[in-house]
Chains A and B, each alone.
Chain A
Amino acid sequence: MLMRRLVLAIPLLIGILFFTFMLIRLGGQDPVGLLAGPTATTEEIEIVRAELGLDKPLFTQFWLFLGDVVQGDIGKSWISNRSVTLDILERIPITLELLLWGVALGSVIGVPVGLRAAFRHDKWFDHISRGISLLGFSIPTYFLALLLLFVFFFLLGWSPPGMGRISLLISPPPTVTGSYLIDGLLAGDLEVARSAVAQLILPIIAVAIISAAPIVKHTRAIALEIISSDFVRFARASGLPSEKVSRIVLKNSSTPVTTFIGTELTGLVGSVSLIEFVFAWGGVGQYGLNAIIRGDFAAVQGYVLFLALFSLVVFIIVDLLVLVLEPRAVAE
């Protein structure tokens, strides 16, 4: 099953690369003028264009690009002149630290709230949690991030300014995992770890809020469907005590809820870029967003490839989790 999924992913990845490749090039942005500078002559511009390989037909460009990607080379950023592959690999742990903590917190809050809302269907808990989750749905991501900073940094002064992953006064720990918190702990430097935690709290809360809203909504819907299923009705008709009936509901909800959180993760890895932007987080998301704004073709390409590979990995992990949760899947 795993092998099949991986093999099927190859044409999918090529397709994604192809469409992003064409889309950015047909988007009307011309990086050549930007790179050559405002005083460049026409000949100079053409020289730069030839250097970048942008004078060749589009399909030839794509073919050459694909050859490079297979060797792990997505190209060079035209802005930093560094390898995009390295740029992104360096930033992946930075984004994951924010995303995974945030979604974990969002799930720890969202799943129990959703379940409770389903068990208290149409009671006040259900209504209130639905109202709050609607609020979480409607608030724009960047606005939420700004609002958190405004309240907790500017008004209350509880939080440090949203200027990166560690206080400017503290030098970062030696890189092991790329997460300042973990690396600080590994280095035994509690001050670094404390500063990293302080910087993490607000952006994590932002991710938790935008992830918890849909998790509440879907967990509630999944549990409600199972509560009204034939087998729960029959369990009641068999006189099973209500704790046992609840356990049947929980067990049968676990797979769909896990799958949903996985899907949620693949969507959030994109929207987390706005939160990174507001908090000057410096992860892949912010990198990708900058690349899009500046027309940095190779970096955009690298970002999209990262998103696709991330989704692939998440779905594989979800599949493995389902194997653990679903005894039937193992039996087959």
Chain B
Amino acid sequence: MSLLQVRDLHTHFISRNLDNEIRVAKALNGVSFEVSRGEVLGLVGETGAGKSLTAYSVMDLLKPPAKVVGGTVEFDGRNLRDLEAEDMNKLRGSEIAMVVQNPRSSLDPLTRVGEQLIRVHTAHTDTSESAARARAIEKLGAVGIPAPEQRMRAWPHELSGGMAQRVLIAMALMNEPKLIIADEPTTGLDVTVQAQILDLLRELVVTHNVAAMVITHDLGIVAHYCNRMAVMFAGRIVETGDVETVFDNPSHPYTRTLIASTPERLKEGKQKVLGGGAPPNLYNLPPGCHYVERCRFADESCNKPLSLDQVGDGHFAMCTRLDAVREGWPS
């Protein structure tokens, strides 16, 4: 059984224009995926595909005009969408922890690092202040921060980006979460620090037996640190499967484009980048495949409603022109 099962999640931005007409931007259009304990799922796609929105929809942290309008989020046997706001808040930071982009600006600038770790723990448990303190020092040590006791007294602005991200990871671990959602955890960090942070995350997934979801636009990260991957495009998952399977046998033309666009492949000079361009207009999406405007294999069959179909062992893709793509893709 998977720990987190998201089924047919729909999130819309509902607003009114100047003529007071209701306008709906369909940002998530039936997102389905699952994550199990001990595995890392990579959610990959271009900016605006809905990766972060998926995470915030799962966490119930959307702000108007964004709203989840359909689907189920099953976590550890409960449907999170049925939970009261207060119960959901208890879950956040304890059973589901988040590691975010911009770690330095995500720490409260006027509170010492240690206090922030402690308050995340005491907010969710009845632990005493001193026990929480000991735990905070232990977790800072566990994420590889040298001299954790001294670091407890540090102010957020005294930390480097990499240090701050370690602190956020330590904070995520404070309440022994079952799931860690990492939203672009290494954007803005040096490449060497990136590798350290991701190694750490992966190691924690194994040692603590948690499930992790890593949101990124970097296929390299997916290839190196994830077990399974899901490729998002315009509010849908267009392909998902084990990382090796998808990389060896990409089926959806968008996945192929992404893989062909990685620096290693471009350097080989064999593959051409096809299907670039802007994301589709979320106010007026095509009736069938969302990728149709950028796809050179599109025909009239692409305008029919489509589903995520099995193309291999645990490997699914949302495309009606799989054969044409396989044959016609320039090698």
Contact = CB atoms under 8 A, between A and B. Distances in A.
B171 A238 contact: yes
Contacts of A252: 108-110
Interface residues of A, number: 21
B306 to A, nearest CB: 34
Given A252-B109, A326-B110, 7 more contacts: A233-B61, A234-B168, A238-B92, A239-B123, A251-B108, A251-B110, A328-B110
A231 B108 contact: yes
A43 interface: no
A331 B111 CA distance: 12
Contacts of B6: none
**Most chain-A Cβ atoms within 10 A of its Cβ — which of B59, B93, B94, B108?**
B108
Contacts of B94: 239
Contact of A239 (B89, B100, B109, B157): B89
A244 B119 CA distance: 9
B7 interface: no
B47 interface: no
A239 B125 CA distance: 12
Interface residues of B, number: 27
A328 B123 contact: no
A241 interface: yes
A237 B59 contact: yes
Given A233-B61, A331-B155, A238 B109 contact: no
7 contacts: A230-B102, A231-B106, A237-B100, A238-B92, A239-B89, A239-B124, A241-B89
Contact of B90 (A233, A239, A244, A331): A239
Interface string B51-88: 00000000101000000000000000000000000000
B180 to A, nearest CB: 12
A38 interface: no
Contacts of A326: 110
B98 interface: yes
A234 B109 contact: no
Interface string A218-251: 0000000000011101111111111010001001
Contacts of B111: 248, 251
A140 interface: no
Nearest to A229: B105
B113 to A, nearest CB: 12
Contact of B98 (A237, A241, A242, A244): A237
B123 A240 contact: yes
A238 B105 contact: no
Given A252-B110, A331-B155, A231 B98 contact: no
A240 B171 CA distance: 12
A332 to B, nearest CB: 9
B100 A230 contact: yes
Interface of B: 59, 61, 89-94, 97-98, 100, 102, 105-111, 119-120, 123-124, 155, 157, 168, 171
B93 A238 contact: yes
B155 A328 contact: yes
A239 B123 CA distance: 8
B20 to A, nearest CB: 16
A327 interface: yes
A322 B111 CA distance: 15
Contacts of A237: 59, 61, 92-93, 98, 100
Nearest to B101: A230
A165 B86 CA distance: 56
Contact of A236 (B61, B90, B109): B61
Contacts of B168: 234
Contacts of A236: 61, 92
Contact of B123 (A229, A234, A244, A327): A244
Contacts of B119: 240, 244
Interface in A119-139: none
A231 B107 contact: yes
Contact of B157 (A242, A244, A328): A328
B123 A233 contact: no
Given A231-B107, A252-B109, A238 B155 contact: no
B106 A239 contact: no
A263 B91 CA distance: 44
Given A328-B155, A328-B157, A238 B110 contact: no
B215 to A, nearest CB: 13
Contacts of B171: 238
Contacts of A230: 100, 102, 105-106
For the complex of A and B, 3 pairs with smallest distance between CB atoms: A239-B93, A239-B92, A238-B93
Nearest to A326: B110
A42 to B, nearest CB: 70
Contact of B120 (A233, A240, A328, A331): A240
B61 A239 contact: no
A234 to B, nearest CB: 4
Contacts of B120: 238-240
B92 A231 contact: no
Interface in A90-114: none
B106 A234 contact: yes
A235 B93 CA distance: 9
Nearest to A228: B63
Interface in A196-236: 229-231, 233-236
**Most chain-A Cβ atoms within 10 A of its Cβ — which of B91, B123, B157?**
B123
Nearest to B181: A237
Contact of A328 (B91, B92, B93, B109): B109
A233 B106 contact: yes
Nearest to B85: A242
Nearest to B86: A241
Contacts of A327: 110, 155
A244 to B, nearest CB: 7
Contacts of A235: 108
Contacts of A331: 155
